[in-house]
């Protein structure tokens, strides 16, 4: 959790540029800024702070040309979890999803299966009980994926 622009600058030296500043309580395009130039980091950090006061803030390396893929799942109090489906939420405007497509076709079948398995493992390991959406960034060039977040709903409101 970064509290000051100075802490963000120190963290940026490790993360590297370009990067994203994100408030963990953000969403819908709020509390997120792309920074390509270190000279703009402090201003962008303060903008994120102002949008979501009190939210923990972190930095992450920008993943250019990545797709935003989601696994929807159900988990119960007995430690069981299943993947229901998935969707590609890569069409965005100002970091806000504007179209979601399913089934996911961007990832090869074996990679998509591993993404579903990883989402189910996550739910089981943390004792998750609910419907949920596990979000990933997926790089088509390398078939690599990285965890973004677990939302405690199917996100049908988008």
Q: How far is CA 49 from CA 89, 103, 147, in A?
A: 26, 36, 23
Task: Please tell me the total number of residues recorded for the chain in this structure.
Answer: 158
Reading the block at residue 92, the tokens are 């965005």
From 60, 13, 58, 57, select the one nearest 38 (Cα to Cα): 13
Strand, coil or helix: 98: strand
Give yes or no: 153 in active site. Answer: yes
Q: Which residues are designated catalytic?
A: 153
């Amino acid at each position: 959790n970064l509290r000051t622009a100075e802490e963000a600058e120190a963290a940026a030296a490790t993360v590297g540029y370009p990067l994203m500043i994100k408030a963990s309580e953000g969403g819908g395009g709020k509390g997120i800024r792309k920074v390509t130039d270190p000279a703009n980091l402090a201003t962008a950090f303060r903008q994120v702070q102002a949008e979501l006061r009190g939210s923990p803030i972190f930095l992450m390396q920008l993943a250019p040309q990545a797709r935003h893929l989601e696994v929807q799942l159900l988990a119960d109090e007995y430690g069981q979890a299943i993947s229901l489906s998935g969707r590609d939420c890569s069409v965005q405007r100002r970091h806000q999803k504007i179209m979601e497509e399913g089934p996911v076709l961007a990832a090869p079948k074996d990679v998509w299966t591993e993404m579903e398995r990883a989402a189910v493992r996550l739910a089981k390991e943390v004792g998750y009980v609910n419907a949920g959406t596990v979000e990933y960034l997926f790089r088509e060039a390398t078939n690599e994926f990285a965890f973004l977040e677990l939302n405690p709903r199917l996100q049908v409101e988008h």
